[in-house]
Structure 1
Amino acid sequence: MKKIILDTNAYTGLLRGDEQILKELGNADNIFVPVIVIGELLAGFQGGTKETKNRQLLEQFLMKPRVEVVPIDKETAEIFGEIKYALVKAGTPLPVNDIWIACCALEAGAVIVSYDDHFLKIPQVRTWAPLDN
């Protein structure tokens, strides 16, 4: 069973019709969207000329049968603490929201679909093939 988790730029790629993203989604059995990503998207929609339309598209996407919203819970926080500590100790700063997204991916057993290569700095996570090149 193929499980993927979408980063914010993967969702926006989907909206733009990015063929690599569309192919990855088409091959997935489960598509996870962390609440962190939803928050980033909603912040990006604020004040835009297509805010209402973008919100509607997001809600429609989240209602699809293979799509599941991933919450943050105590287990996610435990994983975050370990990864954040290891990154700080190694002198490898990463955006905090992306660490949370990586933790959600680990908890869900999913591959991260993103164009951000800094996910490669977290050895525990599995990343989408274009990042592995």
Structure 2
Amino acid sequence: MILDTNAISALSAQEEGLLRVLERENDLCVTVVNAAEYFYGLQNSKQKNVLARWFSEFLESVRILDLDRDVFPYYHVIRTELKRAGTPIPTNDLWTASLARLHGMKVVSRDRHFDRVQGVERIGW
């Protein structure tokens, strides 16, 4: 499962609903894009030091999916499909969806727009 940025935030806050979803999963991943988004967000947090420590430890425990040339065709296809349907999604989420489709993984997210991406299953909480 790929954790979207809002799932990373919920995990750092130990949200019970998300913890229940994740307790059955042993292969958690984040994308380099989601990791960068979370890192950006924590810079202005009142709990910056605590969250930065937590995030560093968290990144040691998950697989980080990087952007490489294998994902480019997936990005192209998904972006084209959504554009034709008139239902684009934010660029960072487009990368997450592309990596999910490439690796055959589900996306854990509160963002319902992932539901519009063919071939990607969103798990909410």
Q: Where in structure 1 are there 5+ consecutive unaligned residues?
A: none
Structure 1 length-normalised TM: 0.87
Structure 2 length-normalised TM: 0.92
Q: Where in structure 2 are there 5+ consecutive unaligned residues?
A: none
> Counterpart in 2 of 1:106?
101
Out of 23, 26, 30, which is 1:29 matched to?
A: 26
Out of 43, 56, 78, which is 2:40 matched to?
A: 43
SS in 2 for 1:69: strand
Out of 6, 22, 25, which is 2:3 matched to?
A: 6
Moved more, 112-121 or 55-64: 55-64
SS in 1 for 2:45: coil
> Counterpart in 2 of 1:81?
76
Structure 1 stretches of at least 4 aligned residues deviating more than 4 Å after TM superposition = none
> Counterpart in 2 of 1:15?
12
Paired letter, 1:85: T
Out of 96, 116, 120, which is 1:125 matched to?
A: 120
- Kindly state the Cα deviation for residue 31 of structure 1 after the two structures are TM-superposed: 0.2
Q: Give the share of equivalent positions with the same residue, in percent.
A: 30
The yes-or-no answer on 1:53 pairing with 2:53 is no
**RMSD of aligned residue pairs (Cα, Å):** 1.3
